[in-house]
Structure 1
């Protein structure tokens, strides 16, 4: 199966762990990367700003050139630069994508590539987290296998795949956490429609563990969600900082038409302190969700307190790194 063609902006190649992850997946054939001399020159200029020795930065960029060769290095796009309608300093990047008819341009600088500049050329502008999530959603077993094989070669220092993914959370927390969640048994590729199975209410409740066990994050979510709909005092009691939630009206509105999935995701960078659960769109009156990778989802974030019980900390479409949740 051939993967997408993606231009990697310099900002996606400067964070070393992220760049290495992208290049590992490219080497495994999960996507075809593209860049230009101008993009690589920018990488080389910016690596020393992160404390990388200039000679080491030069070697790193040269190794990228050598490893991926002329098929990845784009030229002949210069005549298109002035035609691009994005931020002037980034026109050369979009011109590379347009010249090569790339599927995506991977960048942190989303605001510099407005939709009106990219969509006429059928180039999708993607944050690295979203791009990696797409690969994980489409080919989960291949992504996990490629990362696992590459991490095994690390020697200075050696790392487990969990260690590697934990180190990715500051830049791509969604991918890092969902990839770690897939380490046990990576599922097959999934459709965009959640796979649901009918079940009775008692079986659905049982899937969350022993009712009232607040040391179980799934049971806390179930209780909190019940309280949100029926007993706001219970929801407040199961919330880490109730004052921040007001009257909980926005939470109810946000979760309308959604139900909690049955799987707890423990944060790869703080598994004993932080957990997540996904809420997905309901398609049946009583149903349990088995689909693992749904990008169109809402996540509940939970924090484990010193007494061993869990509380709901946040609600939203993203997973955050532990350092932001714990305030470290």
Structure 2
């Protein structure tokens, strides 16, 4: 089942930790924090010495330390309270909710974001998705992004990977 984590990874790289995102329609509390199934601090090395110097919530200091070590600009998280501005400002890092991050991606990289959505639609057979049904499902986690992304897919238009392939016309 697809999730908004697939979208947050696609247009640009980011540094953050949500080791697995919940399946569509499931609450965020179902996400795992132990299985390496997404962007994790496992991709950052040499940050352990920085953890003690971080001033954010103690359970997420490793996330900020990894972001600092990797010179990240953004931490994408639903847990914004663990990343207050005063803890991030010295490192010129921002914390964004996935909805806000994806809205930024849509504004900055509209075609790439559209291609990722179409790729997700084409990747899922059971259950099958259309762009609109995928955005309906994503709307539970990232409602503002899902609403704004709908304009990329006018009703009645054919969509899928075949639209992107010139020999398939």
Write the distance in 1 (CA, Å) between the matches of 2:12 and 2:123.
21
Q: Is residue 35–residue 73 contact of structure 1 (8 Å, CA) maintained in 2?
A: no
Q: Does 1:31 align with 2:9?
A: no
Shift of 1:16: 5.7
* TM superposition shift of 1:20: 2.7
Structure 1 spans left out of the alignment, 5+ residues: 1-14, 185-328
Q: What TM-score comes out, normalization by structure 1 length?
A: 0.40
3-state SS of the aligned residue for 1:33?
coil
- Could you say which residue in structure 1 is the equivalent of 2:87? 117
Contact between 2:8 and 2:101, CA under 8 Å: does it hold in 1? Answer: no
Alignment of structure 1 residues 227-306 onto 2, 5 Å: none
After TM superposition, the score normalised by the length of structure 2 is 0.75
The 4+ residue runs of structure 1 with deviation greater than 4 A are none
- 1:161 CA drift (Å): 1.1
**Offset at 1:35?**
5.1
How far 1:153 moved relative to its partner? 2.0
1:109 Cα deviation (Å)?
Answer: 1.1
Residue 89 of structure 1 deviates from its aligned partner by: 0.7
Residues 213-258 of structure 1: CA deviation (Å, up to 9, x unaligned)? xxxxxxxxxxxxxxxxxxxxxxxxxxxxxxxxxxxxxxxxxxxxxx
State the secondary structure of the residue aligned to 1:105.
strand
State the distance in 2 between where 1:182 and 1:16 align. Answer: 19
Which structure has more RCO (C-alpha within 8 Å, separation ≥ 6)? 2
User: Which residue matches 2:66?
Assistant: 96
Residues 284-324 of structure 1: per-residue CA shift (max 9 Å, x gap)? xxxxxxxxxxxxxxxxxxxxxxxxxxxxxxxxxxxxxxxxx
Query: RMSD value over aligned CA atoms?
Result: 3.0
What is the CA–CA distance in structure 1 between the aligned matches of 2:83 and 2:15, rounded to whole Å?
17
Helix, strand or coil at the partner of 2:3: helix
Residue in structure 2 matched with residue 274 of structure 1 by the alignment: none
Q: Are residues 74 and 88 of structure 1, via their aligned partners in 2, closer, same or farther at CA, if it must alter by over 3 Å?
A: same
Are residue 105 (structure 1) and residue 85 (structure 2) matched? no
In structure 2, what is the Cα distance between the partners aligned to 1:136 and 1:51?
25
Higher strand share: 1
Q: Look up the SS of the partner of 1:34 in the other structure.
A: coil
In structure 2, the gaps of 5 or more residues are 155-169
CA deviation profile, 1:156-206 (whole Å, cap 9, x unmatched): 11111111110011111000000012223xxxxxxxxxxxxxxxxxxxxxx
* Structure with greater helix percent: 2
Q: Which residue of 1 aligns with 2:167?
A: none
